[in-house]
């Protein structure tokens, strides 16, 4: 039981990182209607830019570094979307062209990261943190802060979508782009803002992933991407709240299972859940009838 | 069959019938209990105001879309919610409102895809029964070229289908369905967006098909066309069957006129 | 001199091997429209199984692996190909049903990662991260090959296999089955409305393509004698995509061109360049970026590839009908010509 609660705690941490990244991916997908296979590399980019601010020359506070990195990745995402992805999406009506382009982008970004920072494992410069007992769980202050950030961000996304004009426009676009356009919504502006936000979430998620895992490698984002996919599909593709719920489910399942099976396979648990979902509820566990 | 006995008796032989078809999209009801029979060997028009659910009904009847409820029969076979390809193999072919040509294939290839059972579609036959495959392919090619000749597409046989004009694509849709030798043909607005001369021509083709014994159900907006070539009319409104009968009878029906005919006349003159 | 000799035959080997891999992915993606982002996983299965069946029983070899049947060439290769096919059918049964292109791509790339994870971590299967090594060289015993003479022989053998597979693939793509594949690629709904069982045809396409993947993978382990997880990171799938998109989707000649341009010239030639001092791996990184850039540039400026898909003219279709009785369908004097030449 002790073990269960310990791993449950880690599960909440993973779920937090997962929720942030899965919501970012879902936002992109909802607005532009294609999956961004370079999303994992956006995350890695966030992690390494944080590393630059935090370590080498600047030695900035880790949280400040993360925020700055998130903004940089957000801007980067907008540029990529405007300059590369959007022209391809407009030119070819079959989705798979743009999917292949994002796949190619992922290859380029990964190797850019390798070229700049090399294959060696890197660490953030943060003081060693003593674990705190929270009920039966054992968590570091960083992990607690990450969880708090995730909760705040999810609430923020909720408020954004439900109460603001921007959020309403985003939802309208996600339901039907053409209709949104004809009803006077500036779809180009909404797309840009969405990609900025989702890029920020990716950058932030990448950095906190590095922080919670304790190290960073160039491929860590790509490996995490498929856990995000699992969360997104299990939650129902295109649904923001589904993505949150999927993230919690997958995050807990992977970490708790690691208490009972070889932790090397914990990510594969996510895949098993994904397959089961596909077999028995292909539209996702928490899906409204919406996209798809 | 108990509920519907009266109607099925009325229309001697129903080639295709449906009962209580229901379908909604994200909570919006598109079809709400549509029920009708399509008499064998005749041309039936499916008319109704925009948003009446005509295309959705065609999609459901042809299996391209699953319904949320209701039954469908081809002859006496219950085909409710069968897969599209299974319904096609029962002899029901359809065309699409917006032409969906197989763009990367040539016009001839578009037709050659259509025959239902081709031994050359099996990996085993390709390598172990090449003779049979080739004889069949030859016969199909002959027939396809004949069909193309009939529909005036012969000269375009080697063009990629995506290079055709809108009107030519409409003709390709019909000839591809004909190539499959359908018993029942669902035409979703076969004359939308084509010039009057071609409307005339397509009308002629449809009558020829009727003469060959094909049962036809067509979604059509143009009431002149309906008057000229259709034997029977089904009026759909708000996803329900509002009335059925001959167009002349329906013109007398106040409800139909109010719900539909007025609007469609406006709509067609606006076009 | 010997150095150059090795280079050349290594390049020839990879030219033909990636031609085989490209044909396999092309039937799935180029002909049927299945975006198989797990392709490299099927290549890996082919490689591992080919290696594991040709190795002796694992006891005493210092490696851990299943099978170990001492199976000779070419049966080992065949088993590798068939295993990849069987696995593909299993995957397709689960994932092809009612999944949109993008969901399918997500599921498949995840599968590729999971497969990687399992092969990398689960040592008893294929020796974990170390992978299989000391795999017996094919025909070495029979032909009394030395290390020197082995390379040209395997390059040649791969060439012969590639030519045979090319002939097989041409038969398939020219058949009504190939046409139905292309119909599904262009519009699944229409194909289904014409009575085609789309799911079953996609399954067939996965089966054929993955057999090619397995054979190509098997040849890789036969060529190098070893195979480990570093050889098949999920990104490798992208290289095969680059081959077929640069060369020309839907055209077998194009695939050979693509293999030459991407795999031979871009992937393997730079591997012979001396490393930049102080920057280990930098050449490979830049190389991978170039492949990504090349692919995007091609997709934008010449999406049909270097050698575009052919229009299948009615005269050509007719020419292929050997036992045509009576007059030719298109009114040209065509005789019963055997279409023996290996052609698109």
In a domain, residue B176? The reply is: no
Regarding predicted confidence, which is higher, B256 or C195? C195
Confidence of residue B42 (pLDDT cuts 50, 70, 90): very high
Is the dihedral angle over the CA atoms C100, C101, C104, C109 positive or is it negative? Answer: negative
Strands B77-78 and B69-74: antiparallel
Residues of chain A contacting residue C37, judged by C-beta atoms under 8 Å apart = 37, 103
SS3 C98: coil
Residues of chain C contacting residue A271, judged by C-beta atoms under 8 Å apart = 110-111, 114
Give the per-residue SS3 of B142-161. Answer: HHHHHHHHHCCCHHHCCCEH
B106 with B219, same domain: the answer is no
User: Which among A146, A163, A181 is positioned nearest to A31, based on CA atoms?
Assistant: A181
Q: Which of A92, A106, A274 sits opposite C107 (nearest CB)?
A: A274
Strands B232-237 and B240-245: antiparallel
Residues of chain C contacting residue B94, judged by C-beta atoms under 8 Å apart = 193
Residues of chain B contacting residue A283, judged by C-beta atoms under 8 Å apart = none
| Burial annotation A76-93 (CB, 10 A radius, 16+ → b, else e) | bbbebbeebbbebbeebe
Give the per-residue SS3 of A178-239. Answer: HHHHHCCCCHHHHHHHHHHHHHHHHHHHHHHHHHHHCCECCCHHHHHHHHHHHHHHHHCCCC
Flag the least confident range among A105-109, A168-172, A197-201, C56-60. Answer: C56-60
In a domain, residue A108? The reply is: yes
B91 with B225, same domain: the answer is yes
Q: What is the mean pLDDT of residues B65-72?
A: 91
| A183 φ/ψ angles, rounded to the nearest 5 degrees | -90, 20
Residue of C36, C92, C107 to mutate, testing the A interface (most A Cβ within 10 Å of its Cβ): C107
Separation in Å, CA of C2 to nearest CA in chain A: 32
User: Which among C288, C124, C162, C150 is positioned nearest to C224, based on CA atoms?
Assistant: C150
pLDDT, tens digit only, all 344 positions of chain C = 577 788 889 899 999 999 999 999 999 999 999 999 999 999 999 999 999 898 887 777 778 778 878 888 889 999 999 999 999 999 988 888 767 777 888 888 888 888 888 888 888 888 888 888 888 888 776 777 777 778 888 999 999 999 999 999 999 999 999 999 999 999 999 999 999 999 999 999 999 999 999 999 999 999 988 898 888 887 889 899 999 999 988 888 999 999 998 888 888 887 777 777 777 788 888 888 998 999 999 999 988 888 888 887 776 566 555 444 444 444 433 333 333 333 33
pLDDT at position C316: 59
Residues of chain C contacting residue A103, judged by C-beta atoms under 8 Å apart = 37, 238, 241
What are the pLDDT digits (tens) for B83-123? 999 999 999 999 998 889 998 899 999 999 999 889 889 89
Residue of B99, B141, B182 to mutate, testing the C interface (most C Cβ within 10 Å of its Cβ): B141
CB A197 within 8 A of CB A166: no
pLDDT over 80 (residue B235)? yes
- The residue of chain C with its CA nearest to that of B145 is C329
SS3 B241: strand
Q: Which of A95, A108, A219 sits opposite C102 (nearest CB)?
A: A95
First-to-last C-alpha distance (Å) of chain B: 42
User: Which among C91, C86, C45, C207 is positioned nearest to A271, based on CA atoms?
Assistant: C91
Range picked from A86-100, B15-29, C80-94 for highest mean pLDDT: C80-94
Separation in Å, CA of C331 to nearest CA in chain A: 38
pLDDT at position C98: 65
Residues of chain C contacting residue B183, judged by C-beta atoms under 8 Å apart = none
Structural domain total, chain B: 2
**Binding partners of B (≥3 Cβ pairs within 8 A):** A, C
User: Which among C26, C102, C39 is positioned nearest to C236, based on CA atoms?
Assistant: C39
CA distance B94 to C195: 11
In a domain, residue B227? The reply is: yes
Residues of chain C contacting residue B113, judged by C-beta atoms under 8 Å apart = 179-180, 183, 191, 194, 196
Q: Which two tokens mark A52?
A: 């630059």
CA distance C106 to A12: 24
Tell me the CA distances in angstroms from C296 to A85, B207, C21, C337, one per residue in order: 10, 51, 21, 42
Check A290 against B27: CB less than 8 A apart.
Answer: no
Q: What is the pTM of this model?
A: 0.88
Is the dihedral angle over the CA atoms C144, C148, C153, C154 positive or is it negative? Answer: positive
SS3 A131: strand
Residues of chain C contacting residue A37, judged by C-beta atoms under 8 Å apart = 37, 105, 109
Give the number of A-C residue pairs with CB atoms closer than 8 Å.
Answer: 122
In a domain, residue B168? The reply is: no
What residues have CB less than 8 Å from B142, skipping those under 6 apart?
C329
What are the pLDDT digits (tens) for C128-158? 888 888 888 887 767 777 777 788 889 999 9
Question: In which domain, by residue range, is A108 found?
Answer: 2-122+132-280
pLDDT at position A4: 82
pLDDT over 80 (residue A152)? yes
CA distance A178 to A187: 9
Give the number of B-C residue pairs with CB atoms closer than 8 Å.
Answer: 132
CATH assignment of the domain containing B26: 3.40.50.300
CB C88 within 8 A of CB C206: yes
B89 with B188, same domain: the answer is yes
Residues of chain A contacting residue C29, judged by C-beta atoms under 8 Å apart = 96
Answer whether B26 touches A (CB < 8 Å).
yes
CA distance A288 to C159: 53
Separation in Å, CA of B94 to nearest CA in chain C: 7
Q: Which of B109, B113, B135 sits opposite C194 (nearest CB)?
A: B113
Flag the least confident range among A8-17, A18-27, A133-142. Answer: A133-142
B201 with B154, same domain: the answer is no
Question: In which domain, by residue range, is B251 found?
Answer: 5-100+184-270
Separation in Å, CA of A281 to nearest CA in chain C: 11
Q: Which two tokens mark C323?
A: 């036992």
pLDDT at position B268: 45
Q: Which two tokens mark C230?
A: 């570093």
Check C323 against B114: CB less than 8 A apart.
Answer: no
pLDDT at position A135: 77
Check C179 against B112: CB less than 8 A apart.
Answer: yes
CB A212 within 8 A of CB A142: yes
DSSP conformation letters of A30-84: HHH-S--TTHHHHHHHHHHHHHHHHTTTT---HHHHHHHHHHHHHHHHHHHIIII
Residues of chain B contacting residue C318, judged by C-beta atoms under 8 Å apart = 138, 141
Q: Which two tokens mark C157?
A: 């053998």
Question: Which residues is A131 bridged to in the sheet?
Answer: A140
Strands B28-39 and B184-188: unpaired
In a domain, residue B220? The reply is: yes
Tell me the CA distances in angstroms from A271 to A229, A231, A245, A278, C43, one per residue in order: 9, 10, 16, 10, 20
CATH assignment of the domain containing A238: 1.10.3470
In a domain, residue A290? The reply is: no
Q: Which of C94, C101, C102 sits opposite A278 (nearest CB)?
A: C94
| A121 φ/ψ angles, rounded to the nearest 5 degrees | -70, 135
B86 with B115, same domain: the answer is no
Regarding predicted confidence, which is higher, C148 or B32? B32
- Work out the number of other CB atoms within 10 angstroms of the CB of residue C141: 11
Q: Which of C105, C114, C288 sits opposite A268 (nearest CB)?
A: C114
User: Domain boundaries in chain C?
Assistant: 2-310, 314-344
In a domain, residue B169? The reply is: no
Confidence of residue B23 (pLDDT cuts 50, 70, 90): very high
Q: What is the mean pLDDT of residues B59-81?
A: 91
Structural domain total, chain A: 1
Check C176 against B141: CB less than 8 A apart.
Answer: no
B73 with B18, same domain: the answer is yes
Q: Which of C186, C187, C194 sits opposite B180 (nearest CB)?
A: C194
pLDDT at position B14: 87
CA distance B22 to B5: 21
Tell me the CA distances in angstroms from A244 to A8, A22, A241, A285, B6, one per residue in order: 17, 7, 5, 12, 54
Answer whether B131 touches A (CB < 8 Å).
no
Confidence of residue B2 (pLDDT cuts 50, 70, 90): very low
Domain range C2-310, CATH class = mainly alpha
Mean pLDDT in chain A? Answer: 87
What are the pLDDT digits (tens) for B132-168? 888 899 999 999 999 999 999 999 999 999 999 889 9
């Amino acid at each position: 039981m002790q073990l269960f609660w310990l791993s449950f705690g880690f599960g909440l941490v993973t779920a937090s990182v997962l929720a942030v990244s899965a919501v970012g991916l879902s936002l992109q997908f909802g607005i532009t209607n294609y999956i961004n296979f370079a999303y994992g590399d956006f995350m890695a980019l966030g992690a390494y830019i944080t590393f630059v601010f935090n370590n080498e020359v600047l030695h900035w506070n880790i949280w400040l570094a993360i925020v700055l990195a998130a903004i940089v990745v957000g801007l980067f995402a907008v540029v990529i979307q405007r300059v590369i992805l959007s022209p391809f999406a407009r030119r070819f009506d079959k989705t798979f062209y743009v999917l292949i382009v994002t796949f190619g982008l992922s290859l380029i970004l990964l190797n850019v990261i390798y070229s700049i920072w090399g294959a060696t494992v890197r660490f953030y410069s943060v003081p060693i943190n003593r674990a705190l007992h929270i009920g039966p769980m054992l968590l570091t202050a960083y992990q607690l802060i990450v969880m708090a950030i995730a909760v705040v961000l999810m609430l923020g996304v909720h408020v954004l979508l439900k109460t603001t004009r921007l959020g309403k426009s985003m939802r309208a676009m996600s339901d039907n782009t053409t209709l949104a356009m004809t009803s006077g919504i500036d779809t180009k502006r909404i797309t840009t803002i969405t990609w900025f936000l989702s890029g920020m979430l990716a950058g932030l998620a990448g950095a906190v992933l590095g922080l919670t895992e304790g190290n960073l490698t160039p491929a860590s984002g790509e490996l995490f991407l498929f856990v995000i996919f699992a969360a997104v599909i299990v939650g129902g593709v295109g649904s923001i709240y589904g993505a949150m719920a999927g993230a919690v489910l997958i995050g807990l399942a992977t970490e708790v299972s690691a208490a009972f099976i070889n932790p090397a396979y914990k990510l594969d648990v996510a895949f098993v859940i994904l397959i089961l979902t596909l077999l028995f509820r292909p539209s996702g566990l928490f899906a409204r009838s919406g996209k798809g | 069959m108990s509920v519907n006995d009266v109607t099925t008796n009325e229309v001697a032989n129903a080639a295709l019938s449906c009962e209580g078809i229901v379908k909604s999209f994200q909570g919006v009801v598109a079809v709400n209990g549509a029920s009708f029979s399509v008499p064998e060997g005749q041309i039936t028009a499916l008319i109704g105001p925009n948003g009446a659910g005509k295309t959705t009904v065609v999609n459901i009847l042809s299996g391209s879309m699953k319904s949320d409820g209701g039954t469908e029969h081809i002859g006496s076979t219950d085909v409710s919610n069968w897969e599209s390809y299974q319904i096609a193999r029962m002899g029901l072919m359809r065309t699409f409102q917006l032409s969906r040509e197989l763009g990367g294939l040539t016009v001839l290839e578009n037709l050659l895809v259509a025959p239902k059972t081709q031994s050359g579609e099996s990996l085993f036959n390709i390598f172990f029964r090449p003779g049979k495959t080739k004889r069949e392919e030859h016969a199909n090619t002959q027939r396809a070229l004949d069909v193309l000749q009939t529909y005036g597409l012969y000269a375009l046989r080697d063009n990629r289908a995506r290079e055709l004009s809108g009107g030519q694509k409409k003709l390709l849709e019909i000839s591809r369905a004909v190539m499959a030798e359908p018993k029942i043909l669902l035409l979703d607005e076969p004359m939308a967006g084509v010039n009057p001369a071609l409307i005339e021509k397509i009308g002629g083709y449809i009558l020829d098909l009727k003469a060959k014994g094909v049962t036809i159900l067509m979604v059509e907006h143009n009431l002149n066309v309906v008057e000229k070539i259709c034997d029977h009319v089904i009026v759909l409104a708000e996803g329900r069957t509002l009335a059925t009968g001959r167009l002349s009878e329906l013109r007398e029906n106040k409800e139909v006129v109010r719900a539909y005919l007025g609007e469609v006349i406006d709509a067609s003159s606006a076009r | 001199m010997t150095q150059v000799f090795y280079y050349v035959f290594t390049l020839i080997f990879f030219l033909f091997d990636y031609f085989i891999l490209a044909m396999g992915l092309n039937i799935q993606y180029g002909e049927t429209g299945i975006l198989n982002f797990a392709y490299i996983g099927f290549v890996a299965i082919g490689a591992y199984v080919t290696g594991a069946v040709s190795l002796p029983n694992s006891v005493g070899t210092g490696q851990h692996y299943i099978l170990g049947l001492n199976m000779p060439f070419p049966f080992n290769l065949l088993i590798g190909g068939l295993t990849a096919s069987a696995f593909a059918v299993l995957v397709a049964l689960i994932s092809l049903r009612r999944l949109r292109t993008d969901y399918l791509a997500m599921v498949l790339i995840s599968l590729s990662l999971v497969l990687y994870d399992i092969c990398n971590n689960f040592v008893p299967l294929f020796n974990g991260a170390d992978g299989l090594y000391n795999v017996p060289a094919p025909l070495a015993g029979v032909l009394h090959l030395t290390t020197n003479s082995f390379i040209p022989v395997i390059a040649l053998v791969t060439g012969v296999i590639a030519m045979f597979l090319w002939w097989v693939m041409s038969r398939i793509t020219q058949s009504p089955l190939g046409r139905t594949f292309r119909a599904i690629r262009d519009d699944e709904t229409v194909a289904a409305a014409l009575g085609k069982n789309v799911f079953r045809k996609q399954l067939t396409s996965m089966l054929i393509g993955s057999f090619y993947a397995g054979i190509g993978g098997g040849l890789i382990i036969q060529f190098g004698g070893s195979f480990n997880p570093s050889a098949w990171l999920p990104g490798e799938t992208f290289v095969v995509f680059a081959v077929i998109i640069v060369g020309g989707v839907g055209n077998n000649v194009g695939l050979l061109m693509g293999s030459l341009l991407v795999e031979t010239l871009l992937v393997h030639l730079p591997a012979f360049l001396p490393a930049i001092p102080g920057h280990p791996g930098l050449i490979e990184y830049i190389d991978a970026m170039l492949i990504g850039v090349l692919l995007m540039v091609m997709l934008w400026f010449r999406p049909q590839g270097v050698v575009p898909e052919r229009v299948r003219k009615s005269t050509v279709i007719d020419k292929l009908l050997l036992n045509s009785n009576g007059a030719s369908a298109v009114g040209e004097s065509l005789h019963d010509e055997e279409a023996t030449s290996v052609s698109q």
